[in-house]
Amino acid sequence: MSAATLSKTTFKSSDLSRAPLDVFAAAADHPVQVTRRDGESLVLMSESADKARDALLELAAQLVAVSTSTEGTLASRMSDRFPWMLALSPADQEACANAVLAAARASFATHQPHLAVAELTSWRETATAIAAGLGKESIEWLDEAEAVERP
């Protein structure tokens, strides 16, 4: 769902039978509201949008738990909830904690779950790469005399 589509597109329930492709195409792009005469309106969205909302709510639950604790730094409290952070250096743990928190705030403010989820995933993948030993080998640069010209 982009910033331009924060307000849901609305369809009547009869549109589902008359023009289902239009309703489904809109729902694939962003959540749509389906109004009904006989009951509460429904929201139709893609499975990926639903999963993104679930992931954001899970992150929110973890961040609430982190924020209610008063022991230790933000990074140490987050490392307790996200143990993969322990593979990062202390400075990177602080950077990760601040970046994830900022991205979560932006996600909540803009209704864009992917911002926080992408930030969290990026840091987790970085920690995984570090834990696997990537980046520990020194880089051996070639001297100009050893370099080979490109064809």
Q: Identify whether residues 70 and 97 lie together within a single domain.
A: yes
Q: Is residue 78 a part of any domain in this protein?
A: yes
Q: Identify whether residues 94 and 65 lie together within a single domain.
A: yes
Contact 1, 30 (CB under 8 A): yes
Q: Is residue 111 a part of any domain in this protein?
A: yes
Q: Identify whether residues 127 and 86 lie together within a single domain.
A: yes
What gap in Å lies between CA 48 and CA 53, rounded to an integer? 9
What gap in Å lies between CA 17 and CA 28, rounded to an integer? 17
Q: Identify whether residues 98 and 62 lie together within a single domain.
A: yes
Instruction: Provide the pLDDT for residue 146.
Output: 75
Instruction: Provide the pLDDT for residue 150.
Output: 74
Instruction: Provide the pLDDT for residue 110.
Output: 92
Instruction: Provide the pLDDT for residue 5.
Output: 38
Ranges under pLDDT 70 in the chain: 1-8
Instruction: Provide the pLDDT for residue 15.
Output: 92
Q: Identify whether residues 59 and 73 lie together within a single domain.
A: yes
Q: Which domain holds residue 21?
A: 3-45
Q: What's the mean per-residue pLDDT of the chain? A: 88
Alpha helices in the chain (DSSP H): 13-18, 20-29, 47-68, 74-81, 90-110, 113-131
Q: Identify whether residues 14 and 87 lie together within a single domain.
A: no
Instruction: Provide the pLDDT for residue 145.
Output: 75
Q: Identify whether residues 105 and 63 lie together within a single domain.
A: yes
CATH number for position 32: 3.40.1620.10
Q: Is residue 139 a part of any domain in this protein?
A: no
Residue pLDDT, tens place only, 21-44: 999 999 998 899 999 999 999 999
Q: Identify whether residues 18 and 35 lie together within a single domain.
A: yes
Q: Is residue 138 a part of any domain in this protein?
A: no
CA distances for 87 relative to 62, 74, 125, 128, 147, angstroms: 19, 16, 11, 7, 36
Domain count for the chain, please give it.
Answer: 2
Instruction: Provide the pLDDT for residue 124.
Output: 96
Q: What is the residue whose two structure tokens read 């080998």? A: 137
pTM over 0.75: no
Instruction: Provide the pLDDT for residue 2.
Output: 40
Q: Is residue 141 a part of any domain in this protein?
A: no
Report the alpha-carbon angle 113-119-123, nearest 5. Answer: 150
